[in-house]
Amino acid sequence: MDSKASAHWEGGLKDGQGKVATESGALNAGYSFKQRFEGEPGTNPEELIGAAHASCFSMALSMILGEKGYTADAIDTQARVTLSQSDTGFDISSIHLDVEASVSGADEAAFKEAAETAKANCPVSKVLNADITMSAKLKG
């Protein structure tokens, strides 16, 4: 199964503008230097990586909980992607996942084990070469 996304850029780094889109049409957004580095409203690559990671993780956690006989009532995941400057340029140095879930019948140990397994094994976690940390909280 292949999924496609594309990006188009025009102009210089600081004065240029780009468009990013998915083949499905679910995403069609502009991006720029100011949006990425100066806090101007709009998207940027790190935000998109965070969205991809949070959604992938949530689905993986649902699957792993299901394999253990649990069904999640709700899984809410936020990904904080950190872009840092190093001697070699900019790097995505870390990603932190904040997870809260309501899972009927699950205890804290079973939930934490499932969350750690999902963090290590969701396809987006596997492809990223960053320090991925997480806090996971079972509600209820």
**CB-facing half-sphere around the CA of 15: CA atoms within 13 A:** 2
Residues facing residue 21 across a β-bridge: 6, 28
pLDDT per position as a tens digit, 104-114: 999 999 999 99
pLDDT at 28: 94
Q: Name which CATH class applies to 45-139.
A: alpha beta
The token duo for 79 is: 């990904």
pLDDT of 54-91, one tens digit each?
Answer: 999 999 999 999 999 999 999 999 999 999 998 999 88
130 has a pLDDT exceeding 80: no
Is 135:98 a contact under the CB 8 Å cutoff? yes
What band does 132 get if pLDDT is binned at 50, 70 and 90? Answer: confident
Kindly list the distances between the CA atom of residue 77 and the CA atoms of 12, 50, 88, 96, 132, in Å, as whole numbers in the listed order.
35, 10, 31, 10, 14
Decide: pTM greater than 0.85: yes
